[in-house]
Amino acid sequence: MWEETQMKTIEGGVCAAQGFTAAGVHCGIRKNKTKRDLALIYSSVPASAAAVYTTNLVKGAPLVVTKQHLADGKAQAIICNSGNANTCNANGIEIAEQMSSLLGQALHIKPSDVVVASTGVIGQPLDIAPIAAGIPELVKCLGPHSDEAAEGIMTTDTKRKEIAVSFTAGGKVCKIGGICKGSGMIHPNMATMLVFITTDCAISPAMLQKALLTDIANTFNMVSVDGDTSTNDMVTVLANGFAGNPEITEEDADFTAFMQALNTVTVYLCRCIAGDGEGATKLLECKVSGAPTLEIAKTVAKSVICSSLTKAAMFGADANWGRVLCAIGYSGAPVDVNKIDVQFASKAGTILVCENGAGVEFSEEQAKKILLEHEIEILIDLKSGSAASTAWGCDLTYDYVKINGDYRT
């Protein structure tokens, strides 16, 4: 029985779930004709929909339009362009609504059932012409092409980000998959990331929204690349019910199974985003344990992962644990500094560098070997309770400055 219900990683991304297709094309927003700049995800039937948005007071026009469209908890398609954020433009709302209308006509669905997203340069007008010209081709190319859609939403990302898993709910095998983009302007409380998740699990809009809000508090809101919060961030989930399970309408065993599957997808995508930060060479994972409360654990983890000095030290493979303690100290979390232990870990090993708030003798050679790996863990034990939390980030490199020094060119 365990084998039948065990969650499994599968292929297919946002097309793994039944009833979903996707596509990605180059329509001409980007000058580089080899880069896809328009993506589409489509459900053959209307789906339950949930979303969360950036906390930045400056919000992209697509978010405003999408929020209106999802007021009824339903959607059937997601369209996203890259290369232009459609933010801080006088006609931004009009352009976003035109994107919805044009896609609605092409798919024969209501424009209000379209989720609209844009990512790229802020403050430059978005021309609807290439999008209008590209939509027919986009719809024509719909198929099991999650990878192409994942490419179509990339900006400074260096690689596609997608995953899918299967799980059991109500005696039925359900699938959930996601794609995302995110590389710079990423900071806790929803930052420059676009995340699109699809599932064939039957779940009510209210429970889908509850699941998403619960999940992002410990996943996407715990990611930081550079401390900047974007204007266009959004995480959207569509659930079309094709799996045939009894609709999840309350917090029961099936809801728990759905939450576990959703979390598997979101944690994977968090790690992808952090590891592909602009100019990054390393994925940093800060794990805080022994905290009095979850909030304190989260505050400490986020403070360390956001520390520019710590990030720079990780780039240089320098076991400068004092920077970790410094970040804990200014985090605002009420901790007993004299109890804190710090370790650095990777597949090359684990090394204790601080015990009870003070340095210990350790091999600099071994520490460097550990910190030269691509994935680094910063392990912090506050020894003051049982709460724990994890945050994700990346190192701070010369290339980050180069990329953002001429982003518009």
Angle, alpha carbons 6-181-167 (nearest 5°): 10
**Residues forming beta bridges with residue 326, ordered by sequence position:** none
The rounded distance, in Å, linking the Cα atoms of 221 and 55 is 11
Number of helices (H) and strands (E) in the chain: give both, helices first.
12, 15
Q: Contact, 300 vs 333, CB < 8 A?
A: yes
The rounded distance, in Å, linking the Cα atoms of 230 and 191 is 5
* Residue 142 structure tokens: 């719909």
The rounded distance, in Å, linking the Cα atoms of 320 and 325 is 10
* Residue 302 structure tokens: 């986020």
256 is catalytic: no
* Residue 379 structure tokens: 């392990």
112 to each of 46, 74, 99, how far by Cα in Å?
A: 11, 9, 11
The SS3 call for residue 352 is strand
Q: Which of 192, 231, 299, 310 is labelled catalytic?
A: 192
The rounded distance, in Å, linking the Cα atoms of 100 and 112 is 7
Residue (of 92, 86, 81) closest to 35 by Cα position = 81
The rounded distance, in Å, linking the Cα atoms of 62 and 58 is 12
263 burial type by CB count under 10 A (0-12 exposed, 13-18 middle, 19+ buried): middle
Q: Within a 10 A sphere around the Cβ of 359, how many other Cβ atoms?
A: 12
The rounded distance, in Å, linking the Cα atoms of 66 and 298 is 30
* Residue 219 structure tokens: 């996943």
The rounded distance, in Å, linking the Cα atoms of 279 and 33 is 23
What positions carry a catalytic annotation?
Answer: 192
